[in-house]
Amino acid sequence: MIRKTLRLRTASPAQQDVPVTHVPALVYGTAWKKDQTADLVYRAIRAGFRAIDTAAQPKHYREDLVGSGIRRAIREGIVRRDELYIQTKFTSVAGQDRSNMPYDPQASISEQVHASIKSSLHNLRISETGESDDNSYIDTLVLHSPLPTLKDTIEAWTTVETYVPHHIRNVGISNCPEGTLEALYNSPQVRIKPAVVQNRFYADTGYDAAVRAFCRQHDMIYQSFWTLTANLRLLRSRPVAELANLAGISKAAAVYALVLGLQNTVVLDGTTNDAHMVDDLQSLDRIIALIEKNPDAWAAVMGEFRQLIGDP
C-alpha cells in the first residue's frame, strides 16, 4: 500500500503538546540548486509539493533561498505554513566549507548546534518581520551524518532535543549505518528517539535493507535519496517497465512508487522540470488508483521488485 502522507511517531510521548507531524510521500530536495533555489522551491510548492528538504550547509544548499521560496508561496496564498513539512539539517564541521558555514568551527559541538539552529530558524521564518524568528519552527531537524564518535553524535542530538517541541517538532539522522542508528536509538541519554532516517538507496548498501528493517521495527520513516541517480539498473528493470505500463506513468515515477511500496518510506525528489514536478505528484494518484482497482497486479510487480533488490 502507498499513502500520500505518513504520520511521524510523536517525538516525546511525555509531552502532550507535541503537534502531530505528517510527511508527504514525495519530499522536494534542494541540494545543488544554488542561485535557482528560491524559484525552484516556489515552483515545486506551486506544482503541489508540500514537503521541502534542505540543510544548514552552504557548501551544497542555499537554505536562505529555500526560505525565500517558501515565503513567496505563503505570501501569494498558495499554501499556509501549517500545510508544509519543512526539514533541515545540522551539518558537522567535516561536511562544511570552512570559509562559509553557519557556526564557529572552534566552538563546542553544543554551541555549533545552537548557532546552526538559530541560523535555520531565521532562514526558514515565515515572514520578514523581526519577531518571525521567535515564531519560526522546523518540522524535523536531521543530523546530516553521525559525528566522528558516538559521544559526539549524542552531544549534538541531546542539544537538538532542547528545542522540541516548540521550535523543532521531530529529530532525525542521515547517512547513518545500522550499527550507529541502533546505538543512538538505544542510548539512555537519548530522550527523543529518531523519527526519520535519510539514507542513500542503492545497490552498494544492499538497498539499505538492514536500516529499513530497523526503521519499520521502531516506527521510523525511511527517507530514500539518490533513488534515481544511483539506480539506472532499477530504472531499466522489468518490474519498473511493467508498472509504468500498467499505471500509465514514467519509469522514474514507477521507481519512486515501488520504493514507496517498501513501507514506512518516503522519497526525495529533486527535479528541476515543472512538467516532471506535476507528473511525479499525479503519478502517485494513478498508482493508488491502480492498487485499488487491481491489487493482484500491484502485488505481483511489487513482489518482483522486492526480489530484484533482495528485500525479505
Closest CA to 266 of 28, 1, 27: 27
Model pTM score: 0.96
Q: Interhelix angle for 63-75 vs 109-123, to 10°?
A: 30
Q: What grid cell was written down for 213?
A: 528493517
DSSP 31: T
Question: Which pairing describes strands 26-29 and 265-269: parallel, antiparallel, or unpaired?
Answer: parallel
Query: Which CATH number among 3.40.1030.10, 3.40.50.1100, 3.20.20.100, 3.10.129.10 corresponds to the domain 5-231+260-272?
Result: 3.20.20.100
In total, the chain counts a number of residues equal to 312
Identify the H or E element spanning 198. Answer: strand 196-200
Domain extent listing, the chain: 5-231+260-272
H-type alpha helices, the chain? 37-47, 63-75, 109-123, 132-135, 150-161, 178-186, 209-217, 232-235, 238-247, 251-260, 274-293, 295-308
10-residue block means of pLDDT along the chain (312 residues)? 87 60 97 98 98 98 98 98 98 97 98 98 88 89 98 98 96 98 98 97 96 97 97 97 98 98 97 98 97 97 97 84
CA distance 243 to 249: 8
By the 8 A CB rule, do 53 and 174 touch?
no
